[in-house]
Structure 1
């Protein structure tokens, strides 16, 4: 019989003490866990600000949305593209770094040009905003993703089809042994202006499929339609899935993906994500946790001082590329199709400032 696994068995020896302390901290903490400092070995060298870039990994699927021949076909293509974005966001670090890593928390003023994604030739664009609230429950970290995306398609006749895309919740397991991994949980939705609705249910190992990273998506026609079918797709979002009724392959992300590229770091502004976190990322990648911790602390202390200066001066941070709106009309319009809670949601709407031509983001899908 094998020995009983111990706390932190996957943690480097030199980091086990800090990992045990971290576990005790999150177990007794009642607020948003994002304010806690995680041990350096569990950190990702990438900031959360950069995560929308994963939505650009399958540009051919994003562009193909414009080639749909009907509202039904278009809704399928949007769903296929969305499911294909999940692997990079939620399992890629397991493959490249051995376990899930905590992304660096964004700081005030940090930017990464990828959450306005467009293919001008095809007439497809996406904009959105996101934030996270984390808590601890039942031995797992629960991440509630706040925000949504709006995908717009310009049709051949000049009219626009619009899609509201909500975000799944995350459950981070494997903490006890120091080898975290993510399971998506609960439900997210994609609602189109034409009335087609995708309801995506996420389940992990031990649920309806018995496999990690499983999902089931039900695509339903508009309530007013007659004779149009309901489609069901099922499988694992990090590998493959199929149309349950026909058995046809629906999505497959086991092959190569497009790597998002950006301009050289030395040409970036000081607040662009990869330059801002450069030394922290270097320390994490090279296993120099002293460097990573020192530079991360420096950035965080500067951030706290900026916040204090704002309060003292009675000023508010001025947004550079987005405009805050109290309630997003798109979310308000389509949220009723899935009983959105809350019924309205604050949002940040992208403004072309600077003009799109100045963005050096390969997120156009061209």
Structure 2
């Protein structure tokens, strides 16, 4: 379902009237001494037909952090997450979930480029069992915690869990990325989902993930745009739909989106379905400010404004206090070498980590030992709750990349009735995970 075009363009306060440019770095991210290596790499990926994530990337194109850290931005604005629980009904609740979702995008896909002016670079591919742990403090809502674990290496899949116990809201999810070149743009399809629950309502929210375009790679000034469509569906029959508008060659603006929130009693999604009751339309720029319009009254209000309030400060333990499987300790030597511009050392340290992982895989194969995640369990949709199964069936008809199952945090509150025994893998609580970060690697 698309937004009402009249209401979308009717206001002078809309961000659609403001100019926008991509967060393109001021100069090429490729060192002058490495320009030959960059062109060789670029020619190689243009002719590569598989998933680009399997290619070895030159060290000067690495951004110095693990892909697991990207997931932590789901909690950049803990008060926005917590305030979802204040909604009085399903329609308002969906609007607040949509607001929170938009708040996650800037940090996940733009903040590091906008603040550092270093361009969009490639993160480290997490090793199997790698974990990233973080928290945020909010004066009103207290602590929000985040746990992420690499639950698969081939294909690469990262599972996430976040919670604010004081507000009574939490969620599990997973994401995986497949990339290929089309023209001179890298197309990244994000597979996975996020499921959000609250203690004060039985309503559950199921989210798909946006696809990405990495542009201007040939010029050495890469930046990111979101593309295609993303959906949120609630178990009470409400849907939010976001259309990410990619700027054309000759006109338009970067980073814009439109969207709508509607009630839909159908079991499968149909674009502009006749039974859909339009409640709100959305518009704006996901890197700046966005707005929501009440379709009954015509009233417009701010959905989310990136600059209105800075994100909360992320809290991460010092590297020396982290476990051997936590991201910043795993990649510490590589990151330090990249920061000092010593790309040869960075490549050697990165190769050493990867070779160690290959050796561990061979050892497990020879011993016929199956590796299992420490913190998460896979649940097929067929084995999940009926309401959740129906919710994702609705979304699957619109976006197959949502998949057919979920990685769920083992000690998520909705699973406490079947809490695993201490002998089982994944018996840690969120606090345990923060204090030990142990895995069965």
Question: Could you tell me how far 1:111 is from its partner in structure 2?
Answer: 0.9
Match of 2:323 in 1: 269
Q: 1:78-227 alignment to 2 at 5 Å?
A: 78-95=97-114, 96-113=116-133, 114=146, 115-155=160-200, 159-206=201-248, 210-223=252-265
1:301-332 Cα distance to aligned partner (Å, 9 max, x none): 11122222222222221211111234473663
Q: Are 1:60 and 2:79 matched, yes or no? A: yes
Q: What is the distance in 2 between the residues matched to 1:94 and 1:67?
A: 33
Check whether the contact 1:32–1:134 (CA below 8 A) recurs between aligned residues. Answer: yes
Check whether the contact 2:29–2:118 (CA below 8 A) recurs between aligned residues. Answer: no
Q: What is the distance in 2 between the residues matched to 1:230 and 1:170?
A: 28
Check whether the contact 2:323–2:329 (CA below 8 A) recurs between aligned residues. Answer: yes
Check whether the contact 1:280–1:296 (CA below 8 A) recurs between aligned residues. Answer: yes
Q: What is the distance in 2 between the residues matched to 1:293 and 1:314?
A: 31
Q: Are 1:347 and 2:401 matched, yes or no? A: no
Relative to 1, partners in 2 of residues 1:35 and 1:198: Cα closer, same or farther, differing over 3 Å? same
Q: What is the distance in 2 between the residues matched to 1:315 and 1:221?
A: 48
- Give 3-state SS (helix, strand or coil) of 2:101's partner: helix
- Give 3-state SS (helix, strand or coil) of 1:184's partner: strand
Q: What is the distance in 1 between the residues matched to 2:347 and 2:394?
A: 46
Match of 1:4 in 2: none
140-149 vs 80-89, which moves further: 140-149
Q: What is the distance in 2 between the residues matched to 1:356 and 1:99?
A: 34
In the alignment, structure 2 segments of 5+ residues that lack a partner are 1-26, 134-145, 147-159, 267-274, 412-426, 436-441
Check whether the contact 1:11–1:177 (CA below 8 A) recurs between aligned residues. Answer: no
Check whether the contact 1:145–1:168 (CA below 8 A) recurs between aligned residues. Answer: yes
Question: Could you tell me how far 1:227 is from its partner in structure 2?
Answer: 11
Alignment counterpart, residue 290 of structure 2, candidates 225, 230, 241: 241
Question: Could you tell me how far 1:243 is from its partner in structure 2?
Answer: 2.1
- Give 3-state SS (helix, strand or coil) of 1:248's partner: strand
Show structure 1 runs of 4+ deviating over 3 A: 226-229, 326-332
TM-score by length of 1: 0.89
Q: What is the distance in 2 between the residues matched to 1:319 and 1:10?
A: 36
- Give 3-state SS (helix, strand or coil) of 1:85's partner: helix
Question: Could you tell me how far 1:344 is from its partner in structure 2?
Answer: 4.9
Q: What is the distance in 2 between the residues matched to 1:19 and 1:326?
A: 42
Q: What is the distance in 2 between the residues matched to 1:240 and 1:18?
A: 39
Relative to 1, partners in 2 of residues 1:196 and 1:253: Cα closer, same or farther, differing over 3 Å? same
- Give 3-state SS (helix, strand or coil) of 2:88's partner: coil
Match of 1:40 in 2: 59
Check whether the contact 1:262–1:360 (CA below 8 A) recurs between aligned residues. Answer: no
Question: Could you tell me how far 1:35 is from its partner in structure 2?
Answer: 1.1
Q: What is the distance in 2 between the residues matched to 1:326 and 1:316?
A: 19
Check whether the contact 2:192–2:402 (CA below 8 A) recurs between aligned residues. Answer: no
TM-score by length of 2: 0.75
Q: What is the distance in 1 between the residues matched to 2:276 and 2:192?
A: 34
Q: What is the distance in 2 between the residues matched to 1:314 and 1:49?
A: 28
Aligned length: 351
